[in-house]
A and B are shown apart, each in its own frame.
Chain A
Amino acid sequence: MPEISGYAFPNDVHVHWSLMIVMYPYITGFVAGAFIVTALYHLFGKKEFEPVARLALATSFCFMAIATFPLNLHLGHAERAFNVVVTPHFSSAMAGFGLLYSGYFVILLLEVWFVYRREIIETARRSRGVKRAFYAALALGTYDTSPEALEVDHRAVKLLSAFGLPAACMLHGYVGFIFGGIKANPWWSTPLMPVIFLLSAAVSGIALLVLLYQVTAKLGRRPIERETVQAMARWLWFFLILTVTLELLEIVLLAYENSDAWHIISQLLTTRLEFSFISVQMIGGSLVPFILLAIVVTMNAYLHDRVRNTLASVASLLLLVQVFSMRWNVVIGGQLLSKSFRGLRSGYQPSLFGREGVIVAIALFVLPFVLLWVFDRVLPIERAAPPAEPSREPAAEPARRTA
């Protein structure tokens, strides 16, 4: 039994939302964050993001594919999970899940298809037998790679990004809303919650791509583009500043208003969450990467490539930890304080084994990378050889000229 300091309502000593509910926003955060990176290229025309645009799309897709796993692992009756989609009770924030999830997934599927359509067709043409049949099926029967068709693809990708970006933001913002809309819990109940979740999603997505980009480039013996790392570091810095500002703002406001829950929340932060909030989330996870990224952003001209890449990588690693600890501090922290506002339960330790244990959580985090590897086998993330490299530009430009 957990130890209680002060007085907690007797039913408030259980942490019903455990590690899996920490994993869920962590994973959907990568979905939204990675999509923001693709959108920066496809939608906002940031050319320096081109080398990571496809990687980001694939990453978003692979994390999306497993996003429901932690939820189903958590449910008391996972066999009834589909009821949320079939018979949603729309007054509940959770009931929108089916619509948002499937809507975004369709957009993502379509975007992947349009981005890869030309290569799918080319692979189908090149191959024989089962492989040919497989790619022919993926091509959905159209073999049109005329400049006009490719221009349509290009426009479709742009349009899908335009829908996908708000969809991704809503998918993740709504996760924050689920917490932000609980008026019973003062640690959750704030309209800032969806915004904080969204911004930290951007942080985790970009940080993951900084690492993935460098790792995949190293593995594929490709040069790491200076501008790409530099641009990602800059955006990462920007989103980090916004996130931490809002995270602090929420707490400062509670303290300044001296709200009825402040005395228990201040206890929560300085005792139960001292390590995970102050040390990990705020100092190690926010202040240190802030300084590292500040060096990359402000002293760019003086930095050797290797120094820049290392600084960006270390900052990104720390930020991945920061975002995880933020999810942990929100989800678990909110359940350590009793709604009596008089007591805290002792810290929560997840079990190692079991459905909601640490091993399953690690497996959930590794799984998208395995999927990413499979994705790369089927639809190569890097365009094959130099001749295929300028595929998009020449494909798009003649069409533009004719248009």
Chain B
Amino acid sequence: MDETESDARAPAPPPAPEPVGRREFLANALRLGGGVLVFLSGAPALGEDHVAEGYDWTQHRYAYLIDTEKCIGCGSCVRACKAENGVPDGFFRTWVERYVVSPEASHVDSPKGGLDGFPPIQTPFTPTKSFFVPKMCNHCKETPCVQVCPVGASYRTQDGLVLVDAERCIGCGYCVQACPYGSRFLSPTTHTAEKCTWCYHRVTKGLKPACVEVCPTATRQFGDMRREDDPVRLAIAHGRVSVLQPHLLTEPQCFYLGLDKEVR
């Protein structure tokens, strides 16, 4: 459109360049500098986690409930997570721990994070109880990982998740060090921090996280604390739940039922 217009016009002699005053130059320089700052800072983009049309994050506050009494250690959740999120080999957004305990001794393991289930083991002591504990990012309210991120790439959404903006992450690894639960890692492919997103791309479309979806025993449950009748909300509100490492005051939003003292 511009082209045809300019073609139609007769070539006018170029106007004499107007001298740029000092005041004007400074004003423009400041504007340009400000523009660059705004451009560089950007808004916290949600990256590849596509949010559904019309989704309003102020209308939800998610929470996660894990009933350790129910877990059978099948590892479906770990496999589903890997498939859904393309988790690189040797790294885990979720994993399952096996505890074999007696009053005198305990044994904990998580072969390949529970990806292939759990082979039988022999312990040098006679176990009196054993159980599985699924673990993942706790999406803490007062999370040290968001606190320590030097560029604000780790952030907390209004619906209660802790996410990483892969477009802004500089890959310093400070958040990986700061997470008390070992939930984060630096991806060898993207060189940015990665972690469980509670499958944000799914939950904003009204679906459940992949790990919850595939759990055959309903060990893993996902709910919305803003819905009065949500079973997870009811369980957290009325049941006796605990969180991991409560002394660190990170306020995890991943709640556990039947947590044993051996679990850290």
Contact = CB atoms under 8 A, between A and B. Distances in A.
Interface of A: 1, 6-7, 9-12, 14, 16-17, 74-78, 80-84, 86-89, 91-95, 97, 178, 181-185, 334-335, 338-342
A77 B170 contact: yes
Interface of A is mostly: loop
Given A95-B150, A184-B180, A10 B110 contact: yes
B182 A10 contact: yes
A145 to B, nearest CB: 33
B171 A75 contact: yes
Find the residue from B135, B173, B192 having the highest chain A CB count within 10 A.
Answer: B173
Contacts of B95: 9-10
Given A80-B169, A87-B40, 13 more contacts: A9-B182, A14-B186, A75-B171, A76-B169, A76-B186, A84-B150, A84-B170, A86-B40, A89-B151, A91-B147, A92-B150, A92-B174, A341-B264
Nearest to B175: A92
Contact of B108 (A7, A11, A91, A92): A7
B66 to A, nearest CB: 16
A207 to B, nearest CB: 29
Nearest to A97: B150
B168 A80 contact: yes
B72 interface: no
Contacts of B56: none
A184 B144 contact: yes
24 contacts: A10-B95, A10-B113, A11-B92, A11-B176, A17-B173, A17-B177, A74-B172, A76-B169, A76-B170, A76-B173, A76-B190, A77-B169, A80-B169, A92-B148, A93-B148, A94-B148, A94-B150, A182-B144, A182-B177, A184-B144, A185-B177, A339-B179, A340-B182, A340-B264
Contacts of B172: 74-76, 94
Nearest to A94: B150
Nearest to A14: B185
A86 B177 contact: no
B152 A87 contact: yes
A83 B40 contact: yes
A92 B149 contact: yes
B125 interface: no
B177 A9 contact: no
Nearest to B185: A11
B146 to A, nearest CB: 8
B37 interface: yes
A334 B178 CA distance: 12
A338 B182 contact: yes
A200 to B, nearest CB: 20
A89 B150 contact: yes
Nearest to B146: A91
Contact of A84 (B109, B112, B151, B184): B151
A338 B95 CA distance: 15
Nearest to A181: B148
A367 B41 CA distance: 34
Contacts of B146: 91
A95 to B, nearest CB: 5
Contacts of A334: 177
Interface string B246-264: 0010000000000000001
A9 B150 contact: no
B183 interface: yes
Nearest to B169: A77
Contacts of B176: 11, 16
B191 interface: yes
Nearest to A9: B182
Contacts of A9: 95, 110, 135, 181-182
Contacts of B131: none
B152 A183 contact: no
Given A11-B92, A94-B150, A16 B168 contact: no
A183 B144 contact: yes
The 7 A-B pairs at the shortest CB distance, nearest first, are namely A76-B171, A9-B182, A76-B191, A184-B180, A94-B150, A89-B152, A7-B108
A15 to B, nearest CB: 10
A75 B170 CA distance: 6
Given A16-B177, A77-B192, A80-B168, A342 B151 contact: no
Contacts of B183: 11
B184 A11 contact: yes
Given A75-B170, A183-B248, A80 B151 contact: yes
A125 B179 CA distance: 60
B149 A184 contact: no
A91 B171 CA distance: 18
Contacts of A10: 91-92, 95, 110, 112-113, 182
B186 A86 contact: no
Nearest to B154: A89
Contacts of B144: 182-184
Nearest to A6: B108
B42 to A, nearest CB: 8
Nearest to B115: A10
B86 interface: no
